[in-house]
């Protein structure tokens, strides 16, 4: 073989090997998903573990501007078939893209819940209701920090028509066993939260003069609540909270309207029925 032929052979060999060399990953991980079914004491039990990975975009609030995150979501559930409810937890972990996933993550949070998703490249929104009551927890994607809870689906909107500037709203109806003693006060109806992806901007405590009415409006079983974004006379807008009681004699829904002025709740001009009140509140 001539030197020219030898050089050509080496070039061909290197060209063939190049794709394989490029295919070697800088980071690789795998986590098995499993399902198990069995019968114990006459009960049919299904246990499931699902693992999912995704990569965030750049610009995650609280992280370096050009950094992407590897996000791992692990869902575990145990269900007795034919019975209501399920034992379920969600674990959320994050690493900088390229990091060894065997190393300690930036954070790891585990919550009771059925499902969770990364939202707007900035939040984890976790469905927490494992029984009959639906509710959600909102956490920061960059560090896992808890922002707020909501017992209505999360509201998202932009406060600017020119540049996307997202804000979020939810309404917390405190359970009887809430750890915050202030929310056990008999006149409390709930808390409206207005937030960005970085922080809670304002919370508004809604109360009712009549404690029995407050209890009815707060009930998970006797009343339904919705929160919606309302466009008022341009350029104003606001958040409408509606309570509809299930009692046949309840009448029309109870409505609270709180405007958004600048980048805050306009509590001074809130529109409420005479017996209801809204004031600024902090945890």
Q: What is the pLDDT along the chain (283 residues), one digit of tens a residue?
A: 555 555 555 555 555 555 544 456 676 777 788 999 999 888 899 999 999 999 999 999 999 999 999 999 999 999 898 877 788 999 999 999 999 999 999 999 999 998 999 999 999 999 998 677 899 999 999 999 999 999 999 999 998 888 889 999 999 999 888 999 999 999 999 999 999 999 999 999 999 999 999 999 999 988 999 999 998 654 578 999 999 988 766 678 899 999 999 899 999 999 999 999 999 999 8
- Specify the pLDDT at position 186: 96
CA distance linking residue 158 with residue 63, whole number of Å: 22
Q: Is the CB of residue 258 less than 8 Å from the CB of residue 270?
A: yes
Q: How many CA atoms does the CB half-sphere of 224 hold within 13 Å?
A: 8
Closest CA to 193 of 169, 228, 174: 169
Show the beta-strand stretches assigned E in the chain: 34-40, 43-55, 69-80, 87-96, 107-112, 115-119, 123-127, 136-140, 146-150, 155-158, 166-172, 188-195, 200-208, 223-231, 237-245, 254-261, 264-271, 276-281
- Specify the pLDDT at position 22: 46
CA distance linking residue 84 with residue 160, whole number of Å: 44
Cα 271 to Cα 91, 238, 245, 268: the distances in Å are 41, 10, 20, 9
- Specify the pLDDT at position 222: 87
- Specify the pLDDT at position 261: 92
Q: What's the pTM value of the predicted model, to 2 decimals?
A: 0.85
CA distance linking residue 213 with residue 276, whole number of Å: 10
- Specify the pLDDT at position 100: 94
């Amino acid at each position: 073989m001539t030197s020219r032929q030898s050089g050509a052979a080496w070039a061909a060999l290197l060209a063939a090997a190049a794709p394989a060399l490029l295919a070697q990953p800088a980071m690789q991980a795998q986590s098995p998903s499993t399902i198990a079914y069995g019968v114990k004491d006459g009960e049919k039990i299904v246990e499931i573990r699902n693992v999912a990975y995704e990569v965030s975009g750049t610009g995650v609030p609280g992280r370096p501007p050009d950094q992407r995150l590897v996000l791992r979501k692990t869902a575990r559930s145990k269900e007795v078939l034919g019975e209501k409810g399920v034992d379920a937890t969600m674990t959320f972990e994050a690493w900088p893209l390229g990091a060894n996933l065997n190393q300690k993550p930036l954070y790891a949070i585990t919550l009771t819940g059925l499902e969770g998703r990364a939202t707007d490249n900035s939040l984890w929104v976790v469905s927490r209701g494992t029984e009959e009551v639906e509710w959600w927890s909102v956490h920061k994607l960059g560090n896992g920090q808890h922002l707020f809870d909501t017992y209505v689906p999360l509201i998202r909107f932009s406060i600017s028509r020119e540049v996307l500037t997202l804000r979020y709203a939810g309404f917390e109806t405190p359970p009887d066993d809430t750890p915050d003693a202030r929310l056990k006060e008999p006149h409390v109806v709930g808390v409206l939260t207005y937030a960005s992806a970085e922080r809670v901007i304002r919370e508004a405590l809604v109360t009712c003069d009549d404690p029995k009415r407050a209890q009815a409006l707060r009930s998970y079983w006797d009343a339904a609540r919705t929160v919606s974004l309302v466009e008022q006379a341009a350029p104003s807008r606001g958040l409408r909270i509606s309570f509809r009681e299930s009692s046949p004699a309840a009448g029309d829904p109870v409505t609270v309207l709180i405007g958004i002025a600048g980048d805050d709740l306009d509590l001074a001009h809130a529109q409420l029925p005479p017996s209801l009140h809204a004031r600024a509140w902090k945890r």
